[in-house]
A and B are shown apart, each in its own frame.
Chain A
Amino acid sequence: MASESALAAGLSELMVLRLLREQEMYGYEIVQAIALRTRQALTPGEGVIYPLLHALEKEGLLKSRRKTVGGRSRIYYSLTARGAKRLSAMTDHWSALTGAVGAVLHAV
Protein backbone atom coordinates (compact mmCIF):
# COMPACT_ATOMS: atom_id res chain seq x y z
CA MET A 1 0.00 0.00 0.00
CA ALA A 2 1.35 3.43 -0.91
CA SER A 3 0.61 4.98 2.48
CA GLU A 4 2.37 2.10 4.26
CA SER A 5 5.38 2.59 2.05
CA ALA A 6 5.37 6.33 2.75
CA LEU A 7 5.14 5.59 6.45
CA ALA A 8 8.07 3.19 6.26
CA ALA A 9 10.11 5.74 4.31
CA GLY A 10 9.37 8.39 6.91
CA LEU A 11 10.29 5.96 9.64
CA SER A 12 13.63 5.13 8.01
CA GLU A 13 14.39 8.82 7.64
CA LEU A 14 13.54 9.46 11.29
CA MET A 15 15.77 6.62 12.48
CA VAL A 16 18.69 7.65 10.31
CA LEU A 17 18.52 11.27 11.46
CA ARG A 18 18.21 10.18 15.09
CA LEU A 19 21.22 7.86 14.89
CA LEU A 20 23.37 10.44 13.18
CA ARG A 21 22.53 13.01 15.83
CA GLU A 22 24.66 10.96 18.20
CA GLN A 23 27.73 10.48 15.99
CA GLU A 24 28.86 10.27 12.39
CA MET A 25 28.47 6.81 10.90
CA TYR A 26 28.91 4.97 7.63
CA GLY A 27 26.14 2.98 5.94
CA TYR A 28 26.96 -0.42 7.37
CA GLU A 29 27.12 0.99 10.91
CA ILE A 30 23.75 2.70 10.46
CA VAL A 31 22.10 -0.51 9.27
CA GLN A 32 23.59 -2.51 12.15
CA ALA A 33 22.48 0.13 14.66
CA ILE A 34 18.91 0.10 13.29
CA ALA A 35 18.79 -3.70 13.40
CA LEU A 36 20.09 -3.71 16.96
CA ARG A 37 17.77 -1.04 18.29
CA THR A 38 14.65 -2.34 16.56
CA ARG A 39 15.54 -5.92 17.56
CA GLN A 40 15.57 -6.92 13.89
CA ALA A 41 11.95 -5.76 13.45
CA LEU A 42 12.89 -3.82 10.33
CA THR A 43 14.88 -5.93 7.88
CA PRO A 44 14.86 -4.54 4.36
CA GLY A 45 17.78 -5.35 2.06
CA GLU A 46 20.66 -3.61 3.78
CA GLY A 47 21.79 -1.84 0.64
CA VAL A 48 18.61 0.21 0.34
CA ILE A 49 19.83 2.55 3.05
CA TYR A 50 22.19 4.33 0.63
CA PRO A 51 19.61 5.91 -1.69
CA LEU A 52 17.98 7.39 1.40
CA LEU A 53 21.35 8.72 2.63
CA HIS A 54 22.09 10.23 -0.78
CA ALA A 55 18.67 11.88 -0.96
CA LEU A 56 18.96 13.29 2.56
CA GLU A 57 22.38 14.65 1.74
CA LYS A 58 21.08 16.22 -1.44
CA GLU A 59 18.36 17.87 0.62
CA GLY A 60 21.01 19.32 2.91
CA LEU A 61 19.96 17.30 5.95
CA LEU A 62 23.18 15.27 6.03
CA LYS A 63 26.74 15.85 4.99
CA SER A 64 29.34 13.25 4.12
CA ARG A 65 33.07 12.85 4.05
CA ARG A 66 35.41 10.07 3.08
CA LYS A 67 37.49 8.85 5.97
CA THR A 68 40.02 6.05 6.26
CA VAL A 69 39.75 3.97 9.43
CA GLY A 70 41.72 0.78 10.01
CA GLY A 71 43.03 0.86 6.45
CA ARG A 72 39.54 1.02 4.93
CA SER A 73 38.15 4.08 3.26
CA ARG A 74 34.47 4.74 3.92
CA ILE A 75 31.93 7.49 3.49
CA TYR A 76 30.79 8.82 6.85
CA TYR A 77 27.55 10.72 7.23
CA SER A 78 26.68 13.31 9.85
CA LEU A 79 23.73 15.55 10.64
CA THR A 80 23.61 19.19 9.52
CA ALA A 81 21.83 21.99 11.39
CA ARG A 82 18.99 21.69 8.91
CA GLY A 83 18.87 17.94 9.56
CA ALA A 84 18.67 18.57 13.31
CA LYS A 85 15.68 20.86 12.77
CA ARG A 86 13.96 18.25 10.60
CA LEU A 87 14.66 15.59 13.24
CA SER A 88 13.09 17.74 15.92
CA ALA A 89 9.96 18.32 13.80
CA MET A 90 9.71 14.65 12.86
CA THR A 91 10.16 13.51 16.45
CA ASP A 92 7.32 15.76 17.63
CA HIS A 93 5.11 14.55 14.80
CA TRP A 94 5.93 10.90 15.44
CA SER A 95 5.34 11.23 19.19
CA ALA A 96 1.95 12.81 18.56
CA LEU A 97 1.10 10.08 16.07
CA THR A 98 2.12 7.16 18.29
CA GLY A 99 0.30 8.78 21.21
CA ALA A 100 -2.87 9.04 19.14
CA VAL A 101 -2.62 5.48 17.83
CA GLY A 102 -1.85 4.22 21.34
CA ALA A 103 -4.91 5.98 22.69
CA VAL A 104 -7.08 4.18 20.13
CA LEU A 105 -5.46 0.77 20.67
CA HIS A 106 -5.64 0.93 24.45
CA ALA A 107 -9.08 2.49 24.71
CA VAL A 108 -11.40 0.43 26.83
Chain B
Amino acid sequence: MRFESLRESLLKGGIAPRHVRRYLAELTEHLDDLTEKQRAQGYDGEDAELRARALLGEDRELAAAMLEQKSLHSIPARAPWLIFGLLPPVAGIAAAFALIAPLALIARILHMAAKGGILAPQWFQETAFAVTGVGNLALAPALAAGFVFLAARQRISWLWPLLAIVLLALMDLQFQAHFPPAGHRGGSLSIGATTWIWHWRSWLETWPSSVARLLLTLLPGAFFLRTRSLVGQ
Protein backbone atom coordinates (compact mmCIF):
# COMPACT_ATOMS: atom_id res chain seq x y z
CA MET B 1 0.00 0.00 0.00
CA ARG B 2 1.24 3.54 -0.80
CA PHE B 3 2.55 5.57 2.14
CA GLU B 4 2.30 2.65 4.57
CA SER B 5 5.42 3.63 6.52
CA LEU B 6 4.26 7.26 6.58
CA ARG B 7 0.93 6.14 8.00
CA GLU B 8 2.69 4.25 10.79
CA SER B 9 4.97 7.21 11.58
CA LEU B 10 2.01 9.56 11.84
CA LEU B 11 -0.10 7.26 13.98
CA LYS B 12 2.81 6.49 16.28
CA GLY B 13 3.50 10.22 16.45
CA GLY B 14 -0.01 10.80 17.79
CA ILE B 15 -1.79 12.28 14.77
CA ALA B 16 -5.54 11.68 14.88
CA PRO B 17 -6.50 8.79 12.55
CA ARG B 18 -9.00 10.90 10.60
CA HIS B 19 -6.29 13.43 9.76
CA VAL B 20 -3.92 10.62 8.78
CA ARG B 21 -6.56 9.11 6.51
CA ARG B 22 -7.30 12.39 4.83
CA TYR B 23 -3.64 13.36 4.49
CA LEU B 24 -2.80 10.08 2.76
CA ALA B 25 -5.81 10.39 0.48
CA GLU B 26 -4.73 13.90 -0.51
CA LEU B 27 -1.12 12.82 -1.01
CA THR B 28 -2.29 9.98 -3.23
CA GLU B 29 -4.35 12.36 -5.36
CA HIS B 30 -1.47 14.83 -5.46
CA LEU B 31 0.96 12.12 -6.53
CA ASP B 32 -1.40 11.08 -9.33
CA ASP B 33 -1.53 14.70 -10.55
CA LEU B 34 2.25 15.02 -10.40
CA THR B 35 2.74 11.73 -12.25
CA GLU B 36 0.32 12.85 -14.93
CA LYS B 37 2.24 16.12 -15.29
CA GLN B 38 5.55 14.29 -15.63
CA ARG B 39 4.07 12.09 -18.34
CA ALA B 40 2.79 15.18 -20.12
CA GLN B 41 6.35 16.51 -20.01
CA GLY B 42 7.61 13.44 -21.82
CA TYR B 43 8.76 11.14 -19.01
CA ASP B 44 7.39 7.66 -19.23
CA GLY B 45 6.45 4.85 -16.85
CA GLU B 46 8.70 4.45 -13.85
CA ASP B 47 10.64 7.64 -14.58
CA ALA B 48 7.52 9.75 -14.30
CA GLU B 49 6.54 8.03 -11.06
CA LEU B 50 9.96 8.48 -9.49
CA ARG B 51 10.13 12.16 -10.41
CA ALA B 52 6.61 12.71 -9.09
CA ARG B 53 7.45 10.99 -5.82
CA ALA B 54 10.57 13.15 -5.39
CA LEU B 55 8.55 16.31 -6.00
CA LEU B 56 5.97 15.27 -3.43
CA GLY B 57 8.65 15.10 -0.71
CA GLU B 58 10.40 12.44 1.30
CA ASP B 59 8.44 10.48 3.89
CA ARG B 60 10.52 12.06 6.64
CA GLU B 61 9.67 15.57 5.43
CA LEU B 62 5.99 14.71 4.96
CA ALA B 63 5.77 13.21 8.45
CA ALA B 64 7.61 16.11 10.11
CA ALA B 65 5.26 18.68 8.54
CA MET B 66 2.26 16.86 9.99
CA LEU B 67 3.78 16.09 13.39
CA GLU B 68 4.67 19.71 14.06
CA GLN B 69 0.98 20.69 13.81
CA LYS B 70 0.01 20.09 17.44
CA SER B 71 -3.66 20.77 16.76
CA LEU B 72 -3.83 17.64 14.61
CA HIS B 73 -2.75 15.32 17.42
CA SER B 74 -5.49 13.16 18.90
CA ILE B 75 -6.75 13.58 22.46
CA PRO B 76 -5.74 10.00 23.44
CA ALA B 77 -2.21 10.77 22.24
CA ARG B 78 -2.07 14.15 23.98
CA ALA B 79 -3.70 13.06 27.23
CA PRO B 80 -3.72 9.26 27.51
CA TRP B 81 -4.16 9.53 31.28
CA LEU B 82 -7.51 11.22 30.66
CA ILE B 83 -8.83 8.71 28.14
CA PHE B 84 -7.42 5.52 29.65
CA GLY B 85 -7.18 6.58 33.30
CA LEU B 86 -10.21 8.70 34.06
CA LEU B 87 -12.66 7.83 31.32
CA PRO B 88 -13.11 4.07 32.03
CA PRO B 89 -14.96 4.50 35.35
CA VAL B 90 -16.99 7.40 33.98
CA ALA B 91 -17.82 5.50 30.79
CA GLY B 92 -18.70 2.41 32.81
CA ILE B 93 -21.17 4.26 35.00
CA ALA B 94 -22.64 6.19 32.06
CA ALA B 95 -23.06 3.00 30.02
CA ALA B 96 -24.66 1.22 32.97
CA PHE B 97 -27.17 4.03 33.38
CA ALA B 98 -27.83 4.08 29.64
CA LEU B 99 -28.58 0.36 29.73
CA ILE B 100 -30.89 0.46 32.71
CA ALA B 101 -32.57 3.82 32.03
CA PRO B 102 -35.00 2.53 29.35
CA LEU B 103 -36.26 -0.13 31.79
CA ALA B 104 -36.74 2.44 34.53
CA LEU B 105 -38.52 4.69 32.06
CA ILE B 106 -40.86 1.91 30.94
CA ALA B 107 -41.60 1.02 34.57
CA ARG B 108 -42.43 4.65 35.23
CA ILE B 109 -44.57 5.16 32.14
CA LEU B 110 -46.56 1.99 32.85
CA HIS B 111 -46.88 2.93 36.53
CA MET B 112 -45.20 -0.25 37.72
CA ALA B 113 -43.24 1.49 40.43
CA ALA B 114 -45.13 2.20 43.62
CA LYS B 115 -44.62 2.08 47.33
CA GLY B 116 -43.44 -1.40 48.14
CA GLY B 117 -41.51 -1.98 44.94
CA ILE B 118 -42.27 -2.84 41.33
CA LEU B 119 -45.35 -4.72 40.29
CA ALA B 120 -43.97 -6.07 37.07
CA PRO B 121 -45.70 -8.15 34.41
CA GLN B 122 -43.97 -11.28 33.15
CA TRP B 123 -42.66 -9.70 29.93
CA PHE B 124 -41.02 -6.90 31.89
CA GLN B 125 -39.37 -9.32 34.26
CA GLU B 126 -37.98 -11.34 31.37
CA THR B 127 -36.71 -8.21 29.66
CA ALA B 128 -35.15 -7.00 32.89
CA PHE B 129 -33.36 -10.32 33.43
CA ALA B 130 -32.09 -10.25 29.86
CA VAL B 131 -30.82 -6.68 30.19
CA THR B 132 -29.13 -7.29 33.52
CA GLY B 133 -27.60 -10.48 32.17
CA VAL B 134 -26.19 -8.64 29.19
CA GLY B 135 -25.03 -5.84 31.48
CA ASN B 136 -23.28 -8.22 33.83
CA LEU B 137 -21.49 -10.24 31.20
CA ALA B 138 -21.05 -7.91 28.25
CA LEU B 139 -20.83 -4.29 29.33
CA ALA B 140 -17.36 -4.22 30.91
CA PRO B 141 -15.88 -6.51 28.21
CA ALA B 142 -17.41 -4.30 25.50
CA LEU B 143 -15.94 -1.19 27.09
CA ALA B 144 -12.58 -2.93 27.49
CA ALA B 145 -12.67 -3.91 23.82
CA GLY B 146 -13.46 -0.29 22.95
CA PHE B 147 -10.40 1.00 24.78
CA VAL B 148 -8.24 -1.68 23.18
CA PHE B 149 -9.56 -0.76 19.75
CA LEU B 150 -8.84 2.92 20.41
CA ALA B 151 -5.28 2.17 21.50
CA ALA B 152 -4.61 -0.21 18.62
CA ARG B 153 -5.99 2.24 16.07
CA GLN B 154 -3.78 5.03 17.35
CA ARG B 155 -0.70 2.89 18.04
CA ILE B 156 -0.74 3.89 21.70
CA SER B 157 1.50 2.11 24.20
CA TRP B 158 -0.04 -1.13 25.48
CA LEU B 159 0.23 0.09 29.07
CA TRP B 160 -2.63 2.56 28.62
CA PRO B 161 -5.38 0.17 27.45
CA LEU B 162 -4.23 -2.27 30.10
CA LEU B 163 -4.74 0.43 32.71
CA ALA B 164 -8.28 0.99 31.38
CA ILE B 165 -8.98 -2.74 31.49
CA VAL B 166 -7.66 -3.11 35.03
CA LEU B 167 -9.82 -0.19 36.16
CA LEU B 168 -12.89 -1.73 34.53
CA ALA B 169 -12.11 -5.11 36.03
CA LEU B 170 -11.63 -3.60 39.48
CA MET B 171 -14.82 -1.60 39.15
CA ASP B 172 -16.90 -4.73 38.70
CA LEU B 173 -20.11 -3.23 37.34
CA GLN B 174 -23.09 -5.25 38.48
CA PHE B 175 -26.73 -5.29 37.48
CA GLN B 176 -29.42 -6.95 39.53
CA ALA B 177 -33.10 -7.59 39.01
CA HIS B 178 -35.27 -9.14 41.69
CA PHE B 179 -38.94 -9.90 41.32
CA PRO B 180 -41.34 -11.69 43.63
CA PRO B 181 -43.81 -14.21 42.20
CA ALA B 182 -46.20 -12.74 39.62
CA GLY B 183 -48.87 -10.51 41.10
CA HIS B 184 -46.81 -9.53 44.15
CA ARG B 185 -45.15 -6.21 44.80
CA GLY B 186 -41.57 -5.94 45.90
CA GLY B 187 -39.38 -6.25 42.82
CA SER B 188 -36.35 -4.07 42.25
CA LEU B 189 -33.85 -3.15 39.59
CA SER B 190 -30.43 -1.99 40.59
CA ILE B 191 -26.98 -1.27 39.29
CA GLY B 192 -23.83 -0.98 41.24
CA ALA B 193 -20.10 -0.56 40.84
CA THR B 194 -17.83 -1.73 43.55
CA THR B 195 -14.25 -2.82 43.89
CA TRP B 196 -14.55 -6.54 44.33
CA ILE B 197 -11.38 -6.63 46.39
CA TRP B 198 -13.34 -4.94 49.17
CA HIS B 199 -16.34 -7.21 48.75
CA TRP B 200 -14.63 -10.43 47.94
CA ARG B 201 -17.13 -12.48 50.01
CA SER B 202 -20.12 -11.45 47.90
CA TRP B 203 -17.88 -11.75 44.84
CA LEU B 204 -17.16 -15.36 45.79
CA GLU B 205 -20.81 -16.10 46.47
CA THR B 206 -21.58 -15.48 42.82
CA TRP B 207 -18.21 -16.70 41.64
CA PRO B 208 -19.23 -18.32 38.33
CA SER B 209 -20.61 -15.09 36.90
CA SER B 210 -17.97 -12.98 38.70
CA VAL B 211 -15.11 -15.00 37.26
CA ALA B 212 -16.73 -15.06 33.82
CA ARG B 213 -17.12 -11.27 33.91
CA LEU B 214 -13.52 -10.78 35.03
CA LEU B 215 -12.12 -13.09 32.34
CA LEU B 216 -14.25 -11.52 29.61
CA THR B 217 -13.08 -8.07 30.69
CA LEU B 218 -9.45 -9.15 30.60
CA LEU B 219 -9.82 -10.95 27.27
CA PRO B 220 -9.48 -7.87 24.98
CA GLY B 221 -6.24 -7.01 26.80
CA ALA B 222 -4.84 -10.48 26.21
CA PHE B 223 -5.87 -10.28 22.55
CA PHE B 224 -4.22 -6.86 22.26
CA LEU B 225 -0.94 -8.10 23.75
CA ARG B 226 -0.99 -11.20 21.57
CA THR B 227 -1.58 -9.14 18.43
CA ARG B 228 1.19 -6.71 19.40
CA SER B 229 3.66 -9.52 19.97
CA LEU B 230 2.74 -11.09 16.61
CA VAL B 231 3.18 -7.75 14.84
CA GLY B 232 6.48 -7.23 16.65
CA GLN B 233 7.86 -10.59 15.49
Residue of A nearest to B57 (CB): A45
B56 touches which of A47, A51, A59 (Cβ 8 Å): A47
User: How many interface residues does chain B have, given as a range?
Assistant: 20 to 34
Interface majority SS on A: helix, strand, loop or mixed?
A: helix
Is the CB of A54 closer than 8 A to any CB of chain B?
Answer: yes
Enumerate chain A residues within 8 angstroms of B25, measured Cβ to Cβ: 75
A54 touches B57 (CB 8 A): no
B69 touches A47 (CB 8 A): no
User: How many interface residues does chain A have, given as a range?
Assistant: 10 to 19
Which of B's residues lie within 8 Å of A, judged by CB?
Answer: 19, 22-23, 25-27, 29-30, 33-34, 55-58, 61-62, 65-66, 68-69, 71-72
Can you report 5 residue pairs joining A to B where beta carbons are below 8 Å apart? A28-B29, A28-B34, A46-B34, A47-B61, A51-B69
A47 touches B30 (CB 8 A): yes
Given A28-B29, A75-B22, CB of A45 within 8 Å of CB of B69: no
Given A28-B30, A46-B56, CB of A55 within 8 Å of CB of B61: no
Enumerate chain B residues within 8 angstroms of A63, measured Cβ to Cβ: none
A50 touches which of B26, B58, B68, B71 (Cβ 8 Å): B26
Is the CB of A39 closer than 8 A to any CB of chain B?
Answer: no
B30 touches A54 (CB 8 A): no
What's the least CB distance linking A47 to chain B, in Å?
A: 5
Q: Known A-B contacts: A50-B30, A58-B71, A58-B72. Give 13 more (CB < 8 A).
A: A28-B34, A45-B57, A47-B56, A48-B57, A48-B65, A50-B26, A51-B23, A51-B69, A52-B65, A52-B69, A54-B66, A54-B72, A55-B69
